[in-house]
Amino acid sequence: MATELAPGLIHHPGFLDPAARLRLAEQVAAILEAAPPFAPRMPRTGKPFSVRMSNAGPLGWVSDRNGYRYQATHPETGRPWPAIPPTALAAWEALARYPALPEACLINLYDPAARMGLHQDRDEADFSAPVVSLSVGAPALFRYGGLHRTDPTRSVRLLAGDAVVIGGASRLIFHGIDRLYRSADQLVELPLTRFLPAGGRCNLTLRRVSDRTGRPGEPGLPIS
């Protein structure tokens, strides 16, 4: 049963059943073999994120001292990103209600102590497409607010297999991950233990990057 947390912000608990979670974990592990996780850095300060990242699809989201941007190649290997995993494409087709395929699949890897500060996803040129998120591994506390950083926030726990769609009036809301929870039920994510040896969580976000003219998003300007 889906819950509309705010207009356009939809939580689908258990969207992936355990068999689909296992398939997705296997597909993501194969991507990470080819496109190893890297530690993105904050624009300007160069401070590393606590979350490690990789990407799949024609474009990948990267962040370094020069800012946030999408690019076609891995920042360390220089190779093109692997294809978006089939289980994630199927989730986009079921949930996005958008007439084109996603161009980017950002893979976020959370060690048990990692977190993600409040942010907006706004490096894309077409905000009429939603962002679709899939999670496997440990539960996490997802915080979401409004269109301004200082707006009041609420929180919801995301479990393995949950999907979240951020679209419509919520496309540009601030959101983040405050913390992970320990969980006993991580067996189906076994294929990812090589990349998360202490356990943790993997979140995928699927995005359109270009607008319908094919123009890519503005190069990332550091937020605030």
Binding site for ligand MD6 (CB under 6 A): 108, 116, 121, 131, 133, 135, 142, 164, 166, 175, 177, 203, 205
Task: Considering the complex, state which of residue 131 and residue 188 has its C-beta at the smaller distance from Fe ion.
Answer: 131
Q: Is 124 in the site for Fe ion (CB under 5 A)?
A: no
User: Residue 209, by phi and psi: left (phi above 0), alpha (psi -120 to 50) or beta?
Assistant: alpha
Task: Considering the complex, state which of residue 186 and residue 203 has its C-beta at the smaller distance from ligand MD6.
Answer: 203
What's the closest the beta carbon of residue 131 comes to ligand MD6, in angstroms?
Answer: 4
Task: Considering the complex, state which of residue 35 and residue 51 has its C-beta at the smaller distance from Fe ion.
Answer: 51
Q: Is 162 in the site for Fe ion (CB under 5 A)?
A: no
Q: Is 148 exposed, middle or buried (0-12, 13-18, 19+ CB in 10 A)?
A: exposed
Stretch that binds Fe ion, among 10-18, 43-51, 90-98, 113-121 (CB under 5 A): 113-121
Task: Considering the complex, state which of residue 27 and residue 205 has its C-beta at the smaller distance from ligand MD6.
Answer: 205
Identify the residue among 55, 56, 121, 189 touching Fe ion (CB under 5 A): 121
What's the closest the beta carbon of residue 4 comes to ligand MD6, in angstroms?
Answer: 14
Between CA 182 and CA 199 the distance in angstroms is 9
**Residue 202 binding result from ligand MD6, Fe ion, none, given CB thresholds of 5 to 8 Å by partner type:** none
Asked if 123 and 104 count as a contact pair (C-beta separation under 8 A), the reply is no
Task: Considering the complex, state which of residue 41 and residue 179 has its C-beta at the smaller distance from ligand MD6.
Answer: 179
Token pair belonging to 73: 């190649």
What's the closest the beta carbon of residue 61 comes to ligand MD6, in angstroms?
Answer: 10
Between CA 58 and CA 67 the distance in angstroms is 20
What's the closest the beta carbon of residue 11 comes to ligand MD6, in angstroms?
Answer: 10
What's the closest the beta carbon of residue 216 comes to Fe ion, in angstroms?
Answer: 18
Closest-CB residue for Fe ion? Answer: 121
Asked if 53 and 195 count as a contact pair (C-beta separation under 8 A), the reply is no
Tokens 């494409």 belong to which residue? 89
What's the closest the beta carbon of residue 5 comes to ligand MD6, in angstroms?
Answer: 11
Residues that bind Fe ion (CB under 5 A): 121
